[in-house]
Amino acid sequence: MFEINGIRGVCVRPRRGGISVRYLEILAGEHIGLAVIDGPDRLLPTVYDLTKMGMPPRRLRALPVSNPSVYPNADVIGAVVQLLREAARTASEAIELGSRLIDQKIDDERKGSARFNAALAFETQVDLLRGIVPEQFAARVGPALDRIQTAAALLAGYRLTPTCPAEVAGLLDLIGRLSDGVSVRGLPASLAFAFSGGWVGAKSLAVAAHAIGSQLLGLPKADESVALLPTISGSAIQFLQKLFPASSFVPADFLDWVSEKPLDRLIVVPPLGCRVTEQRQLERSQFSQKDGKQSIALGAEVLFVEHALRNAAENAVILAVVSEGLLASVGNSDFREWLLRQAQLLAVISLPAGSCYQGTSVRCSLLYMRKRASQPDDYSIFFAEVQEEDLLDATQIGALQTAIDKAIEETQQQCA
């Protein structure tokens, strides 16, 4: 049993199937106003409004909330992601839809226009999406339309305007998880600590990635910041500009982009397992030839790190998210030797398998480095191995973030 705004409710979990109208009428006779029907085979609970005595039970898409003030938790975000992915025909369409819904919801909160309101929860209200999402989405029929409206009804019950970095990370996580491709999925909110520490603060910052994710959290910490997102739609960019109004978003491939002036900070997230075959991009690489032969393909991780160093100012700090193979495999030994001549390693944070690219067993590391013309003969590097449980422990993550900042700050003092 529960009570919301003076209305009594009950949760029911049938062993199989649903429940009858007669059973709902009995509940109404017992002065139950809300019935929540849950079960292991349901994406979301089914909610019935029983407050209209003498009227048939009304199915709700969500519990109507008159004054949303609570920020959605991970379970709510996960439900919205699944609804939108099932309603959309493609991953890009899902990102477009999610970006528009969130953008309109935040805009609604700021302007107080109340287009996102409690009435969205009622199944009979089918026209309220018009003006909120484009016609091609609002015109959907059947299950697809119902899933879009259910997602909107869920969002209507929560506050989406973020008030802290953790809430910004939640919104980025929602949009990033709408992508189908593992190799281009954005980094999850659990890795927010890596990109929001004090070390990010600088005059200029560039973030290069192929998806929306927590790697964008450092953007507001720099005086000037740009994100290079080659596959992001216009609606997604509009959404990002609301979150980061002082930053620029460029739909360009990082490997074809050159900064107008050397950068103080760079964050690069190469697409997982991608091999680059564009000749113009390969020709710029130190590793384009081997044994006198021109390479026809190189790993994106090598090219991203190399291009980041090319665009970095002297003493700039670079964070690269790379697979374990780049740091350990025999085939990448030449690259590692070259890297140690180009940059001073500051910290290497080994992450749990699948924490960067969920749904895979790939282990990744956070590689922090400082570009220097010459390296010290002997210096310390901060190493840490993060366990899955650590990502859920705020104290552990806070200590790790502090240790990373300290390692970077100490080398800055040495360079000064």
What's the confidence (pLDDT) of residue 54? 76
Helix pair angle (234-243, 91-111), 10° resolution: 40
What's the confidence (pLDDT) of residue 416? 59
Q: pLDDT in tens for each of the 416 residues of the chain?
A: 888 778 898 988 887 767 888 888 888 888 898 888 887 666 677 888 888 877 888 888 887 787 888 999 888 998 999 999 999 988 888 888 999 899 889 988 988 877 788 778 876 655 667 777 777 777 777 888 888 888 999 999 999 999 988 899 999 988 888 876 554 567 888 999 999 999 999 999 999 998 899 999 999 999 999 999 998 888 888 889 989 999 999 999 999 999 999 999 999 999 888 899 999 999 899 888 877 788 889 999 999 999 999 999 999 999 999 998 898 888 889 999 999 999 999 999 999 998 887 677 889 999 999 999 888 888 999 999 999 999 999 999 999 999 999 999 988 777 65
What's the confidence (pLDDT) of residue 128? 60
Residue type, 122: F
CATH of 178-415, one of 3.40.50.10420, 3.40.50.150, 3.40.50.1380, 3.20.20.70: 3.40.50.150
Which alpha helices (H) appear in 213-348, and where do they start and end? Answer: 234-243, 279-283, 300-311, 324-328, 333-342
What's the confidence (pLDDT) of residue 246? 96
Q: Could you tell me how many helices (H) and strands (E) the chain has, helices first?
A: 12, 17
Distances (CA, A) of 141 to 90, 136, 208: 17, 11, 38
Report the C-alpha gap between 363 and 365 in whole angstroms: 7
The label of the residue with tokens 């709902």 reads 24
Report the C-alpha gap between 71 and 83 in whole angstroms: 19
What's the confidence (pLDDT) of residue 207? 97
Helix pair angle (74-87, 165-176), 10° resolution: 30
What's the confidence (pLDDT) of residue 126? 56
Its pTM stands at 0.85
What's the confidence (pLDDT) of residue 43? 63
SS3 (DSSP) at 92: helix
What's the confidence (pLDDT) of residue 19? 80
What's the confidence (pLDDT) of residue 398? 94
What's the confidence (pLDDT) of residue 41? 64
Region for residue 35 given its phi and psi (left: phi exceeds 0; alpha: psi -120 to 50; beta: otherwise): beta
Domain residue limits, the chain: 2-60, 74-156, 178-415
Distances (CA, A) of 6 to 107, 186, 245, 285: 30, 42, 41, 67
**Gyration radius of the chain over CA positions:** 25
